[in-house]
Amino acid sequence: MQANALTKKINDALAQAATLVEEKDVAAAADILRQEIESVEKLNLYNDGQADYYDFNTLMEMVMFQSQHPELQPVADIEEPLNRLYAMYGSLLLEQGKLDEAEEALAIAMDWNPMSADIAFEHAEIFKQKKDWEKLKELTTAIFPIAYKRREIAHCYRNLGYYFVEKQMWDEAVGCYLLSMSFADAEGRYQAELELKYIHEETEGQAQRPSIGAMRSYGEKYGFPIGPDAKIIETAMQYGKAMLANKKYEHANYFLDIAYKLTESKELKELIDNINKVLK
């Protein structure tokens, strides 16, 4: 479908802002997005009461939302990239240290897309910078139920590791950073390694690696899971198998691949390999 005029206008503003960020002119980039937001808000979009309007970035985000909120009907996924507009604006405000303004913009981005872990992490970062450690923990633990990529789960554990470091709860911090490394990409593993090195130096090697049983106890006490959210895996499996039954192989591959990356199940790997043979 051809993008409508407003979508193109927003995308143009986002592209201009991205170019200015590359040129290290963050203030000018933020100003472009502020003007675009003011223009969009004057239009008073999607207040007709006919549906609950959201702006999801991926199909998985939309089906997670529907599975978590079956009471909301109908749900409409709009075309205009409003979550990206507010999220990028909030991130630029955060970069400039305008924390309260950033919080407002990122909260609106999360209203448009409550399933984006990336936006939720930016929102949590505000409280990290404010040194509000309890709020950082609260917001981070709330991200696990929408974290469907391994790097997002790793980020959750790194945030918790940071929280425990600030509370000088060293064993808990070590456990969280080690958990993060089992899900992280190369950059995430490097960040965790730096933090573990810091803990080792700070505690003169006294911080201990907790057992998995101890980590489960910490998780129960502080409200975080050990591993991926079971509901996310269930949702991806359910949609993947439904798509497969209907011979919608690309969609089946999409959902089952999400489940596979979270579980590394041999059975799923074989199923995906067979789907890929059909798609070739």
CATH T-level fold of 1-130: 1.25.40
Is 50 exceeded by the pLDDT of residue 2?
A: no
Q: What is the pLDDT of residues 225-261, one digit of tens each?
A: 999 999 999 999 999 999 999 999 999 999 999 999 9
* One-letter amino acid for residue 57 of the chain: N
Q: Residue 3: pLDDT band by 50, 70, 90 thresholds?
A: low
Q: What is the pLDDT of residues 9-27, one digit of tens each?
A: 999 999 999 999 999 999 9
Domain ranges for the chain, please list them. Answer: 1-130, 147-228, 230-279
Is 80 exceeded by the pLDDT of residue 210?
A: yes
Q: Residue 43: pLDDT band by 50, 70, 90 thresholds?
A: very high
Q: Which residues of 251-276 are buried (b: 16+ CB within 10 A; e: fewer)?
A: bbbbbbbbbbbbbebeebeebbeebe
pLDDT greater at residue 138 or residue 44: 138
Single pTM value for the model: 0.94
Is 90 exceeded by the pLDDT of residue 49?
A: no
Cβ-contact 121, 109 below 8 angstroms: no
Q: Residue 51: pLDDT band by 50, 70, 90 thresholds?
A: confident
Q: What is the pLDDT of residues 63-113, one digit of tens each?
A: 999 999 999 888 899 999 999 999 999 999 999 999 999 999 999 999 999
**How many CA atoms lie less than 13 Å away from 52 in the CB half-sphere?**
15
